[in-house]
Chains A and B, each alone.
Chain A
Amino acid sequence: MNAAGSSRAGAGIPDLRGGQDEARASVELHRSPPAESVAVDPPHPPPPIPSDLSASPAAADDLSLHHRFGHQWEFAHLPVRAFLTAFLSTPAAIDDCVQEVALLAWKKGPIQEDSDRFKAFCLACARRIAMAEVRKKYRRRHRHLEIETLTAVAEAAAHAASAETAAADRLRALRECLSRLDGKARHLLDLRYANSDPEALKSEAAKAGLSVDAIYKKLERLRSLLRNCVAKKLNPPDA
């Protein structure tokens, strides 16, 4: 193979310079663990790289796989999150484990199969990860409850999430209800659900001159308010 630059074009060797999208490759790519090396030894001269990604059947398959995964995950992520919420103590810990499940699902999950199988795979991963996390005491949510109790609760949560037939609608309704809350209420919910600091609520109580119990009571009322709001949006009363 003559590697001289001027002979490249003559030998049909593609020009990879000029900021071309590195995704343009005629080699079929398979879903694989990170840093997989796909060795290709083409005949001489090598085939040209297509200028349009959609012109390559292999590349198009790759995209559809990604779309398929996104679709599958859309239905699986809430049951996974619900399952892990029963076990884990902080939003950050839950997010870490959800991410781990997503990675496993991408690498090894039955993406091309029906959504129930994919969801079952994700929940199985979540179970293994949750059991590992529970052994780490600082990550464990409830020190006074038995593992069996937590498992039963987690399975019930995953079942409730799996049985959800309008997850996207519920999420949308919830966001609309959240947007109608006043700033203080929204701030309290952010502290509880979006803040990684476990002491955030205690600090807020001290700042507001309230007891921690009073803060948790406020949260209880807010949840009830939001549940009512979502229920009304999803099942509007008859006129």
Chain B
Amino acid sequence: MKSDSPAASDSSDEPLDPNWQHLLNRFLDQTLDAEESAEFARRLREDPSALALCGQRIHFDATLQAALGAKDLEWEETRRIRFNPGGTGPLWSIERQQEFHIGRRRRRVRRQLLRASLVALGLLILGAAAYHFHARHRYQLRNGDFEAMDLSQSPNPESLSILYWQESFSTPQARVLELSRATQGELFAKSGRNVVALQPRAFLNQVLVDARGEPLAAHPGTRVHVTGWYHCRNAPQSRLEACLRFVASGYPLAIQYNLAVQSVDLKDGGWHPIHFDLTLPTDLWRKPDIVSGETPHPPGAIDLHGKPVTLSLDFYSESGELLVDDLALTAEEP
């Protein structure tokens, strides 16, 4: 084994002044007070061998750190190779990222990942709870602007499919129109491109649901406010009726119970606003208002409390056409 040079060795055989020994150890342990520091500095200034010995002791201390701390030096390299035929840059590119660190990175990363995961989970739970409580009872109309179907993809500017508005019943007298194209630029939708066009006695109907998809349940005092725009074309003396209903069954035996009804007379020509305010009554025991079809057992009165509520918009006119756009709804439960 090679022997160390005298300057580098810290021979334990060399007797040391106990005071200097003490000061050296106090320096290593960072416990020199002001007086001791002054003495320490004086010794170093006046005795070059003291400085060399101090250096050796620190060297040993550093070796002790390395032996006890045993921190790994890890070098981690990641490479990402991209093949990008469609881009404007180079066809191939290689990115390289390197990182050095001391300590067991995997354990640190696991701890960091675990911590980050717990935080993310906590945030997710909070967000889900916030969404749950916020979305609950926040009722809105689906496809109220009738833009859900993109008619620009069709050579035909109209369609009999009115998404979300034909849930219980449908009629060929109602259709969605890309208005400017259908009227060759004569008329334009109130917003977007599409409107619904209702022929006389045509209707729209939609089950009212909240942001989570839960239906609005009938309760006494529930208020529903409906807004929108209409345009009557050649339909004098016409009216639009809004109704909150419970649809017990559809065709061929349609049974419906009215909860609240409101009707407005319509003005012919031009766009006009729609306002409906419907409030459910206190007494929700009702007989069916509409029974279409033959039945040997006519349905009786039932308690509508808790039943899902459907909004129905019915156009009553002898002629002409009603255009409707931008329908919106708010509901207040008691």
A residues near B (Cβ < 8 Å) are: 1-3, 13, 16, 22-23, 25, 27, 29, 32, 34-42, 46, 66, 69, 73, 77-78, 81-82, 85-86, 89, 91, 94-95, 98-99, 102-103, 106, 141-142, 144-146, 149, 152-161, 163-167, 169-171, 174-175, 178, 189-190, 192-194, 216, 219-220, 223-224, 226-228, 230-231, 234-235
Contacts and interface: CB of A to CB of B under 8 A. Distances in A.
A156 B83 CA distance: 54
A95 B103 contact: yes
B66 A171 contact: yes
Contacts of B9: 231
B94 A29 contact: yes
Interface in B108-129: none
Contacts of B29: 192, 216, 219
Nearest to A226: B64
A158 B91 CA distance: 50
Contact of A160 (B58, B91, B102, B103): B58
Interface string B52-67: 1011101111111111
A102 B65 contact: no
19 contacts: A34-B98, A35-B96, A38-B96, A39-B92, A39-B93, A77-B73, A89-B30, A99-B101, A106-B100, A142-B27, A142-B32, A144-B33, A145-B37, A149-B44, A153-B55, A166-B1, A169-B1, A216-B29, A226-B60
Interface stretch (B74-82, B179-187, B210-218): B74-82
A166 B4 contact: yes
Interface string B3-45: 1110111111100000001100111111111101110110010
Contacts, number: 219
Contact of A3 (B58, B67, B85): B85
Contacts of A86: 58
B37 A142 contact: yes
Nearest to B61: A85
A99 B91 contact: no
A49 to B, nearest CB: 8
B86 interface: yes
B81 A194 contact: no
Contacts of A163: 4-5, 7-8
A36 B40 CA distance: 49
Contacts of A224: 12
A91 to B, nearest CB: 6
B66 to A, nearest CB: 6
Which residue, of B37, B55, B94, has the highest number of chain A Cβ atoms within 10 A? B55
Contacts of A153: 27, 44, 51, 54-55, 58
B95 to A, nearest CB: 5
Contacts of B65: 81, 85, 91, 94, 193
Interface residues of B, number: 73
B295 interface: no
A15 B67 CA distance: 46
A35 B78 CA distance: 9
B63 A160 contact: no
Contacts of A37: 93-95
B5 A165 contact: yes
B46 to A, nearest CB: 13
B108 to A, nearest CB: 12
Contacts of A170: 63
Contacts of A2: 85
A204 to B, nearest CB: 13
Nearest to B25: A220
B71 A95 contact: yes
A166 B89 CA distance: 53
Contact of A99 (B67, B93, B100): B100
A171 to B, nearest CB: 6
B97 interface: yes
A133 to B, nearest CB: 14
Contacts of B86: 3
A228 B25 contact: no
Contact of A175 (B67, B77, B79): B67
A38 B44 CA distance: 53
